[in-house]
């Protein structure tokens, strides 16, 4: 895409303004000339409120000299490239978003790729590219991306392409396109704490038996934590977020004695140790398995929020973690008819079996472990003691905490496997109930 000479000439005039520039850049003849040219070409001659914000963000990202108050390490762009970038911003219909998720406390785990995601260690140079370091430096010259320290951690990188139907002003100031009739306090029950594509990638990773690989489950059954997500968008009209601070991740002091007898101190990331089988297990999380999971999620076996609660349990802690894991099992293997006997097919061969015991029976059949029924009923009783305030609830042991995680993972994994049968959900759950009823205590 080659920019025309008129746009390049207007940019050349603007780029000649030396820092710190005029007090009111947006009102300067050079800025107004550029805005008017872009408005005529891409906005049908109409300048909407907020356009100055979006254009200002784009110009800062592209390195407008009068907006750079400090010396910039990265080389400036050519005017032809700047012009092409502006034309793209004012005509684009899609944006690319990259989610950079540090895997805090991760052990030395192998690199894997699946779908639009990659789990790996990255060099400092690779991270600078992933974070778009030149753009960050132009927006935050006083805060340098510490790519060297960040490169000591593993990362989950997820990318997605998102269609957009708003112009530059609406992208810079999203509230401009918000309906005044919208209920700002409404809750979307299907919206999670993290971006949907990251939730899907995390759900996929959580199907692996991390609790079996963990060498110190009394510390944590997880193989890693995800304390934050940094979003990179190639939409230049939107200001990027401040570079992340490596100190927000987990470090421990270390030291060694060099050849001259001097003690050298340094820091290294803290890791949750996994056993040797973890390497092979993580390598089994292939793209082929990802496709299998995606196909399973399209079936009505995943019409309930199984994914949502398995991820929520990972992100939660203490009793909320236990509650979320038990909810995974109920979402996976419970039905409305468990609580409403009039909805059950007649004759009801298991009329005397209550809702919780029905779920327990199905779970034991789904995971192929008769003991799972007893374990679920025990954990559900702990949950009921907490919810209903019954006396005698003691601290929940590591064994039972890990048990809840294992049963929840088993239920979710079973749905992935059973989805290949192609049976309607109600029929499959009825078959699981018939098979598991003998496992009830």
Domain presence at residue 285: no
**pLDDT over threshold 90, residue 193:** no
Residues 123 and 214 in one domain: yes
Residue 106 · residue 271 · CB < 8 Å: yes
Model pLDDT, residue 179: 65
Token pair for residue 231? 């979003």
Domain presence at residue 286: no
Of 220, 254, 269, which closes a domain? Answer: 269
Model pLDDT, residue 136: 96
The residue-averaged pLDDT of 13-33 equals 89
Token pair for residue 333? 């293997």
Between 412 and 25, where is the model more confident? 412
The residue-averaged pLDDT of 115-133 equals 98
How far is Cα 338 from Cα 333, in angstroms, rounded to an integer? Answer: 10
Domain presence at residue 397: yes
The residue-averaged pLDDT of 271-297 equals 96
Domain presence at residue 23: yes
Residues 336 and 364 in one domain: yes
What is the H or E stretch that residue 407 is in?
Answer: helix 398-418
Model pLDDT, residue 352: 83
Residue (of 281, 296, 152) closest to 205 by Cα position:
281
The residue-averaged pLDDT of 202-231 equals 96
The residue-averaged pLDDT of 283-309 equals 97
Residues 55 and 67 in one domain: yes
Residue 313 · residue 324 · CB < 8 Å: yes
Of 73, 91, 109, which closes a domain? Answer: 91
- Alpha-carbon Rg for the chain in angstroms: 27
Geometric angle at alpha carbon 408, from 405 and 413, rounded to 5°: 120
- Domain count for the chain, please give it: 3
Residues 78 and 111 in one domain: no
Instruction: Provide the pLDDT confidence category of residue 394 given band limits of 50, 70 and 90.
Output: confident
Model pLDDT, residue 178: 63
The residue-averaged pLDDT of 257-273 equals 85
Residues 306 and 202 in one domain: no
Residue 197 · residue 204 · CB < 8 Å: no
Residues 312 and 348 in one domain: yes
**Residues with Cβ within 8 Å of residue 29, at least 6 apart in sequence:** none
Model pLDDT, residue 360: 97
Model pLDDT, residue 176: 60
The residue-averaged pLDDT of 192-215 equals 96
Q: What is the pTM of this model?
A: 0.92
The residue-averaged pLDDT of 152-168 equals 94
Domain presence at residue 260: yes
Model pLDDT, residue 50: 80
**pLDDT over threshold 90, residue 162:** yes
Between 397 and 188, where is the model more confident? 397
**pLDDT over threshold 70, residue 142:** yes
For residue 301, CA distances in Å to 244, 291, 306 come to 39, 16, 9
**pLDDT over threshold 70, residue 100:** yes
Average pLDDT, the chain: 91
Token pair for residue 259? 């050849």
**pLDDT over threshold 90, residue 421:** yes
Residues 42 and 164 in one domain: no
Residue 204 · residue 290 · CB < 8 Å: yes
Token pair for residue 274? 């996994």
322 C-beta neighbours (distance < 10 Å), count: 23
Residue (of 16, 17, 20, 13) closest to 36 by Cα position:
13
The residue-averaged pLDDT of 1-17 equals 85
Of 70, 91, 112, which closes a domain? Answer: 91
Percent of the chain with pLDDT over 90: 72
Domain presence at residue 275: no
Residue 284 · residue 276 · CB < 8 Å: no
Question: Is 67 strand, coil or helix?
Answer: helix
Q: What is the pLDDT of residues 76-90, one digit of tens each?
A: 889 999 999 999 999
Residues 31 and 131 in one domain: no
Model pLDDT, residue 175: 64
Domain presence at residue 279: no
The residue-averaged pLDDT of 283-301 equals 97
Domain presence at residue 184: no
Token pair for residue 246? 């490596």
Model pLDDT, residue 195: 96
Residue 62 · residue 3 · CB < 8 Å: no
Residues 329 and 383 in one domain: yes
Residues 116 and 238 in one domain: yes
402 C-beta neighbours (distance < 10 Å), count: 17
Residues 165 and 141 in one domain: yes
Residue 238 · residue 57 · CB < 8 Å: yes
How far is Cα 305 from Cα 366, in angstroms, rounded to an integer? Answer: 18
The residue-averaged pLDDT of 417-432 equals 96
Domain of 240? Answer: 94-177+191-269
Residues 225 and 315 in one domain: no
How far is Cα 421 from Cα 432, in angstroms, rounded to an integer? Answer: 13
Q: Residue 335 CA to chain centroid, in angstroms?
A: 29
Token pair for residue 121? 């260690």
Model pLDDT, residue 45: 65
Instruction: Provide the pLDDT confidence category of residue 6 given band limits of 50, 70 and 90.
Output: very high
383 C-beta neighbours (distance < 10 Å), count: 20
**pLDDT over threshold 70, residue 316:** yes
**pLDDT over threshold 90, residue 48:** no
Instruction: Provide the pLDDT confidence category of residue 349 given band limits of 50, 70 and 90.
Output: confident
Residue 311 · residue 202 · CB < 8 Å: yes
């Amino acid at each position: 895409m080659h920019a025309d000479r008129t746009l390049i000439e207007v940019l050349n005039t603007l780029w000649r303004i030396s820092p710190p520039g005029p007090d009111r850049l947006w009102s300067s003849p050079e800025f107004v000339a550029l805005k008017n040219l872009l408005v005529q070409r891409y906005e049908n001659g109409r300048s909407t409120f907020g356009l100055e914000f979006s254009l200002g963000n784009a110009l800062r990202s592209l390195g407008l000299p009068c907006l750079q108050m400090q010396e910039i390490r990265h080389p400036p762009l050519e005017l032809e490239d700047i012009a092409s970038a502006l034309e793209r911003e004012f005509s684009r219909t899609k944006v690319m978003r990259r989610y950079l998720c540090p895997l805090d406390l991760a052990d030395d785990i192998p690199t894997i790729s699946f779908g639009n995601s990659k789990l790996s260690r990255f060099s400092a140079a690779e991270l600078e590219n992933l974070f778009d370091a030149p753009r960050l430096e132009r927006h935050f010259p006083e805060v340098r991306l510490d790519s060297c320290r960040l490169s000591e951690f593993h990362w989950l990188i997820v990318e997605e392409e998102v269609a957009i139907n708003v112009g530059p002003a609406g992208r810079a100031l999203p509230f401009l396109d918000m309906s005044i009739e919208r209920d700002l306090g409404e809750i979307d029950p299907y919206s999670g704490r993290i971006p949907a594509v990251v939730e899907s990638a995390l759900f996929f990773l959580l199907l692996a038996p991390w609790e079996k690989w963990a060498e110190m489950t009394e510390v944590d059954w997880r193989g890693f934590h995800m304390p934050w997500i940094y979003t990179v968008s190639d939409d230049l009209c939107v200001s990027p977020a401040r570079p992340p601070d490596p100190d927000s991740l987990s470090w421990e002091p270390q030291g060694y004695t060099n050849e001259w007898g001097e003690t050298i101190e340094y820091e290294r990331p803290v890791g949750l140790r996994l056993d040797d089988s973890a390497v092979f297990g993580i390598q089994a999380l292939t793209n082929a398995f990802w496709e299998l999971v995606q196909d399973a999620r399209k079936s009505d076996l995943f019409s309930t929020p199984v994914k949502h609660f398995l991820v929520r349990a990972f992100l939660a802690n203490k009793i909320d973690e236990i509650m979320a894991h038990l909810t995974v099992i109920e979402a996976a293997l419970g039905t409305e008819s468990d609580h409403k006997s009039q909805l059950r097919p007649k004759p009801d061969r298991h009329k005397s079996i209550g809702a919780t015991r029905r779920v327990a029976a199905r779970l034991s059949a789904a995971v192929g472990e008769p003991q799972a029924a007893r374990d679920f009923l025990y954990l559900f009783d702990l949950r009921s003691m907490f919810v209903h305030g019954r006396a005698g609830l003691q601290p929940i042991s590591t064994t039972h905490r890990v048990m809840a995680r294992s049963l929840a993972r088993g239920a979710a994994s079973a749905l992935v496997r059973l989805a290949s049968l192609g049976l309607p959900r109600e029929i499959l759950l009825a078959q699981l109930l018939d098979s598991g009823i003998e496992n009830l205590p």
